[in-house]
A and B are shown apart, each in its own frame.
Chain A
Amino acid sequence: MFKHVGIVGAGTMGSGIAQVVALSKIDVALYDVNDTLLRQGIERIRADFRKAVERGKLTQEQLTETMERIRSRTSLSELTSCDLIIEAVIEDLRVKKDLFKHLEQNSKATTVLATNTSSLSVSSIASGVSKQERVIGMHFFNPAQTMKLIEVIRGEQTSEAVVSSAIEFVKHIGKIPVRVKDTPGFVVNRVARPFYGEALRLLGENVASVEQIDRITKVIGGFAMGPFELMDLIGIDVNFSVTQSMYEQYFGEPRYRPHPIQKRMVESGMLGKKTKRGFYVYDDKI
């Protein structure tokens, strides 16, 4: 079992993962190239724990104890004692590949190197590492603190021992693992595609309105949110780029083809809730 876990990248995902791991009594080394981001990440964790204390879900002692288990690191060479390193940096293949080369140099030969990528190929991220069998995908969902699922992705050369140890680790930190082959979109992003894609097609073909499609999927389908509400929440730009990336990775498979409606909305800056304009209008006052 991993006793010491390194996390690279102290953004929303990285700090969320650090929080989850530390809560299961495992020592965490949280690294970020950017000192300010690192401090902000630690503060985010502390603020989240404080809220938990206020709600009576955590004692003050547990807070102190858990925070002590998380150490900030500003140099990769400080991660050499880790048994597992989870990368949660920007979704950019070049950046990730480069980072994994550095992680290889700054870790023991037995250390498992995991990527939290949601859309890139694990095998491709691993390709710069000389012992690719120890590279694996561990796809946490946002927010990492509350989402139970982790997709454990086996790259082309990942060893079965590494997969098993990753699955054991996921269970240990209270999450639910699913074994996934390294294919574009893995399971969740792939199987969720038609929820958005067909809704956009239905809208484009004037079969029903945005409001009607959302209402039908929620009331008859039992979905918590309609596809358009959800795209507005995720960000129409983010949703569009995931779709486009899958479409390209599957060499133009028509099931993943993006819709012109998405593209036009992104072009006009209607990105959903974050810009107050998307499929719906979000005005504070009307």
Chain B
Amino acid sequence: MAQKTKENSSTAELAKAKVYIIGETPMVEEYTELCASRGYDVFVAWNDPPNPVRKFNSSGVKPSTTIPSGVSIGLELSNTNTEQKKKNLEKLDKSLPPTAPILSSSVTISATEQSSWIVQKHRLVGIGALPTFVEKRLVEVAPTVFSPTETVEVVRRFYVSLGKEIELVQDRVGMVLPRILCQIINESIFAVTDDVATPKDIDAAMKLGANHPFGPIEWAEKIGIKQVCAVLVALHNDLNEDRYRVSPLLKQMSIAGEWWKSQ
């Protein structure tokens, strides 16, 4: 497999390393499965533990609310619950060895803001984590002003060991793809509200007329309406412009469920 590439020889020590993953479903499961399949020893915890905990295809996955000793990398994957995210990061910062970097989703809160919550600020690096994104061979990574190049290098090697490349972007809420994509989705829901066309027809139109890989509404369902809405709310708060006003229907949907599936 891709693990047999030359670059992986330098990550041999990482490939046997322990990883601690905490955050929201389904990103936690996605990252856990990937890391375990690449030979990592994965310890995993959820903000809201699923019941029952799903079976992982790979061995070496251990649900654990406490962080074991000797973990090389910690991942925090929450986008919708700031308080919980803060607690998770504080816990990681307290329990991980000082050399271990923390990769934290910085889609809805900048990595710089997150680093202000912990003592060892240098170890936190932002990543673009949204459901389904981990399937792709590229990841957006946002170092903060506190991140030394060595930390960024460890993060890069970690992703190489997972068969991925990284793209270093500025540490801004929404990063690149989540901002573009969620604004497309937002626009499509405004169009639904304005009765321009049915959700089904909007999806068809964007795939056939603009060559988009998915319709915006089916895409929102793939990622999860709650996640999409969290990105948009964060953009609106951060940029403070009407341009990022969140569709009221989308907000409703995020709370109440996904009614257009039945349409």
- Please, which residue of chain B has its CB at the minimum distance from the CB of A205? B172
User: Does chain A have a CB within 8 A of B181?
Assistant: yes
Q: How far is the CA of A213 from the CA of B169 in the complex (A)?
A: 9
The listed residue (A148, A191, A254) touching B187 by CB distance below 8 A is A191
B180 touches A198 (CB 8 A): yes
B-contact 0/1 string along A183-209, CB 8 Å cutoff: 100111011111101110010011110
Complex contacts, A141 vs chain B, CB 8 Å: 208-209
The listed residue (A151, A183, A220) touching B140 by CB distance below 8 A is A220
Q: How far is the CA of A224 from the CA of B191 in the complex (A)?
A: 24
B138 touches A215 (CB 8 A): yes
A190 touches B176 (CB 8 A): no
Q: How far is the CA of A225 from the CA of B176 in the complex (A)?
A: 15
User: Does chain A have a CB within 8 A of B58?
Assistant: no
Please choose the segment from B19-27, B78-86, B89-97, B196-204 that sits at the chain A interface, where 4 or more of its residues have CB less than 8 A away: B196-204
Q: How far is the CA of A176 from the CA of B184 in the complex (A)?
A: 22
With known contacts A151-B209, A187-B209, A220–B196 Cβ distance under 8 A: no
Complex contacts, B191 vs chain A, CB 8 Å: 187, 190-191
With known contacts A149-B208, A188-B205, A223-B212, A212–B243 Cβ distance under 8 A: no
Complex contacts, A212 vs chain B, CB 8 Å: 167, 169, 176
Rounded to whole Å, the gap between the CB of A70 and the closest CB of chain B is 26
A192 touches B213 (CB 8 A): no
User: Does chain A have a CB within 8 A of B13?
Assistant: no
Q: How far is the CA of A254 from the CA of B241 in the complex (A)?
A: 8
Main secondary structure of the interface of A (DSSP, over half): mixed
Q: How far is the CA of A147 from the CA of B204 in the complex (A)?
A: 12
The listed residue (B172, B201, B245) touching A207 by CB distance below 8 A is B172
Complex contacts, A220 vs chain B, CB 8 Å: 128, 133, 136, 138-140, 177
User: Does chain A have a CB within 8 A of B233?
Assistant: no
B184 touches A194 (CB 8 A): yes
User: Does chain B have a CB within 8 A of A263?
Assistant: no
With known contacts A215-B167, A221-B177, A221-B213, A191–B241 Cβ distance under 8 A: no
The listed residue (B177, B180, B208, B212) touching A147 by CB distance below 8 A is B208
CB interface residues, A 225-268, toward B, < 8 Å: 225, 227, 254-255, 257
The listed residue (B139, B184, B194) touching A195 by CB distance below 8 A is B184
Q: How far is the CA of A148 from the CA of B209 in the complex (A)?
A: 7
B213 touches A186 (CB 8 A): no
Rounded to whole Å, the gap between the CB of A225 and the closest CB of chain B is 8
User: Does chain B have a CB within 8 A of A178?
Assistant: yes
**B residues adjacent to A (C-beta < 8 A):** 128, 133, 136-140, 167, 169-170, 172, 175-177, 179-181, 183-184, 186-188, 190-191, 194-198, 201-202, 204-206, 208-214, 216, 241-243, 245
- Top 4 A-B pairs ranked by shortest CB distance? A149-B208, A194-B183, A222-B213, A188-B209
